[in-house]
Structure 1
Amino acid sequence: MRIVYALGTSTGGVGTHVRALARDMAAAGHEVGVIGPAATDEHFGFSRLPGVRFAALELGAGLGVGDAALVRRQRALLRSFDAEIVHAHGFRAGLITLLTLRTLRARPRFVLSLHNQASGHGLRAKVETQVETMLARGADLVLGASTDLVERARELGASDARFLPAAAPKVEQISAEAAGTARARLAAEYSFSEGAVIVLAVGRVARQKNYPMLVRALGRLGEEPGVGHSPAEDSDGDTDDPALVVLIAGAADEGVLADVRAQYDQLRAASAVPPLHFLGARDDIAELAAAADIYVLTSVWEARALVLQEALMAGKAIVATATGGSAELVADAGILVADDDDRALAEAVAELAVDPARRAELGARARSRGAELPDEREVADKLVSLYTELL
């Protein structure tokens, strides 16, 4: 088959998913093209994949007068690829692709993958609903990364909407020795005891991740006996290291990061709270996860977070918000709390911080659940059968 993937700007799950699809489809002998921003190619290396052709299309974040030029550019690209299947990922890439296909006489089959829900308010929400409806009705097949996205597409009039997970890459197995080394390195770098309970969050510092919820939970944890700072002093008069430390690994929207830092600093000035460190973008997530004791995800909404899948496969004790596809992904392999419920988050983390046996139990459940998840090749094979059905 001749398959073209279209996507917008991405530094996370969507780009990771499309890269895996392009790689596996090309390895299976299909002709594969990828259309997207040059920066996305730089991040994921589509043009370096064997058997994959990449073409740049600079998709902006919103509707604009330049969309007509994007349609013309994509039309020329699709003709050069001679695509049988065009598979767009996300609202922006989906919209430009649908507009482009409407200008073609010989139209390839159009598949749309939804990875996020529309989140606008007021007038923006109305516009987003109109775009969602147009896409749902214009695609030959809509794929949702979580079942709520599938249901939404059907409500908006999709003729064929199905669930297809975005699988996480294979998790690197980290030895106990390497995990201990990572813990020691983190303790030295951020000045906490190697015996501290490490709470790890992985994900971009952005509005969707709702780190203010985590900060408010830290304020509550500072009030918990046995969690947070210990009041005891050593022989030099210095206070002991904190019993719990929170690490956030991921790139940041600078404005959001500044707001979260200010919120945390205000709390810390008023009372003793567990320390919080922003690690920035990292390439050692597997080592960080191995060193951590508790994994938290506070997102307002997630379809099927790759980092949550990775935490399951790594056997971490998980506390996550029960939003989008997270509840069906985690099931009983972690503790689920309501969206933005910082009290419930604090209670769950406090429970796990003082109970290693409970952490071990949840970690074992997580690993068992992670072993059941489909891998990238299985998702690609399922997609081939869907493409074949369309053709």
Structure 2
Amino acid sequence: MRIVYVLGTSTGGVGTHVRALARDVAAAGHELGVIGPASTDEHFGFSSLPGVRFAALDMGTGIGVRDAALILRLRELIAGFDADIVHAHGFRAGFVALLATRSLRARPQFIISLHNRASGRSLRGRVEAGIETLLAKGADLTLGASTDLVARAQDLGARDARFLPAAAPEVHEIPADAAAATRAGLAEEFGFGPEAVLVLAVGRVAPQKNYPLLVRALGHLGESSGETSRTPELVFLIAGAADQNVLDEVRRQYENLAATSAVPALHFLGPRDDIAELNAAADLYVLTSVWEARALVLQEALICGQAIIATSTGGTTELVGDAGILVADDDDMGLAAAIGELAADPARRAELAARARARGAQLPDEREVAKELVGIYTELMPSQVG
């Protein structure tokens, strides 16, 4: 089969997922093309994958009059690949790819993968809802990275909607001495003691990740820190790139709290390529997002055997199950209580870590997801062989 992936700008989960699919589907003997921004290729290296052809197309983020030229160019690229299947990832890529494929003389099968829900409000919200409906009704198949996305597509009239997980990248086990070295380096950099409880959050500092919830929880922890001698020193680390405006606002929120009470320490690490080591060095893992489909960072935390506290939104509840503590995405007091409970109870942390590791061992890996997807492609193209 000849398959083309279309995606927009990405530096995180969507690009990671598509790269793994491109690698493994091409390795299975299919002709694979990827169309997306040059910056996305620079980040993920699609053009360096064996058997994968990449074509650069900057899609931008907004909808406007320039989209007509963008759609025509995408149409030319898809026709040049002579694609049997066009598989777009995300709303923006899906919108332009659907319009581009509709006007092709030999129309390929069109698949849309949804990795996020529409979150716009007012006029933007109405536009996004219209695009959601267009994609649901126009795609030959809609794939959702969480079951709520599948249900949403079905409600909007999708002719065929199914769940397909985005699998976590392979996580290598970190030796105890390497984890200890990472922790020692962090302790030296940030000045915390050997008995401190290290709490890790991984994810871009952006509105979806809801770090103001974490900061408010830190305020409650600061208020209760003197109530019991069982409360250990808490140190919070956030690893990930940042939207500068959001980062500045979160820092201001934290500094205002720190100016009036003894809140736990909070440090921003920026982008890191040693997430597995950070997971191994930390005592707790926290995810505060307002919504997630199937967060790759959360899957990594499960595989690493972290004691997890996460917000019960989107696909997180079904992903974590009983392998962590779940709180509402607006419950800062509940989040603080969960952190305080686990910080003071190493045995409970160890229990949740064991559950997380067992849950992580059950998750499908990238090759298993790619194999399932090739089966779906074959189903859509029954006359194709191999």
- Which TM-score applies when normalising by structure 2? 0.97
Corresponding residue number in structure 2 for 1:3: 3
CA displacement, residues 31-57 of structure 1 (integer Å, 9 cap, x when unaligned): 000000000000000000011000001
Gap change, CA 1:105 and 1:372, over 3 Å in 2: same
- Aligned residue pairs: how many? 381
Corresponding residue number in structure 1 for 2:220: 220
TM superposition shift of 1:227: 8.8
- Superposed, 1:290-309 pairs within 5 Å as 290-309=280-299
Q: Write the letter of the residue equivalent to 2:248.
A: A
CA displacement, residues 123-182 of structure 1 (integer Å, 9 cap, x when unaligned): 211111111000000000000000000000000000000000000001111011111110
Q: Write the letter of the residue equivalent to 2:39.
A: A
CA distance in structure 1 between the aligned counterparts of 2:361 and 2:278, rounded to whole angstroms: 20
Q: How big is the alpha-carbon RMSD for the aligned residues of Structure 1 and Structure 2?
A: 1.4
Sequence identity of aligned pairs in percent? 72
Q: Write the letter of the residue equivalent to 1:370.
A: G
Corresponding residue number in structure 1 for 2:88: 88
TM superposition shift of 1:79: 1.2
1:249 corresponds, among 230, 233, 239, to: 239
CA distance in structure 2 between the aligned counterparts of 1:353 and 1:227, rounded to whole angstroms: 14
Corresponding residue number in structure 2 for 1:209: 209
Structure 1 residue 188 corresponds to structure 2 residue 193: no
The ranges of structure 1 where at least 4 consecutive aligned residues each deviate by more than 6 angstroms after the TM superposition are 226-231
Aligned partners of 1:228 and 1:243 also within 8 Å = no
Structure 2 regions of 5+ residues with no counterpart? Answer: 382-386
Corresponding residue number in structure 1 for 2:142: 142
CA distance in structure 1 between the aligned counterparts of 2:178 and 2:345, rounded to whole angstroms: 24
Q: Write the letter of the residue equivalent to 1:204.
A: R
Corresponding residue number in structure 2 for 1:124: 124
Q: Write the letter of the residue equivalent to 1:171.
A: V
TM superposition shift of 1:298: 0.2
- Superposed, 1:339-378 pairs within 5 Å as 339-378=329-368
TM superposition shift of 1:224: 2.2
2:279 corresponds, among 289, 304, 311, to: 289
Q: Write the letter of the residue equivalent to 1:302.
A: E
CA distance in structure 2 between the aligned counterparts of 1:278 and 1:332, rounded to whole angstroms: 29
Structure 1 regions of 5+ residues with no counterpart? Answer: 232-241
Q: Write the letter of the residue equivalent to 1:285.
A: I
CA distance in structure 1 between the aligned counterparts of 2:226 and 2:375, rounded to whole angstroms: 54
TM superposition shift of 1:279: 0.2
CA distance in structure 2 between the aligned counterparts of 1:230 and 1:368, rounded to whole angstroms: 29
Aligned partners of 1:319 and 1:336 also within 8 Å = yes
1:388 corresponds, among 349, 371, 378, to: 378
- Superposed, 1:310-329 pairs within 5 Å as 310-329=300-319
Corresponding residue number in structure 2 for 1:50: 50
TM superposition shift of 1:194: 2.7
- Which TM-score applies when normalising by structure 1? 0.96
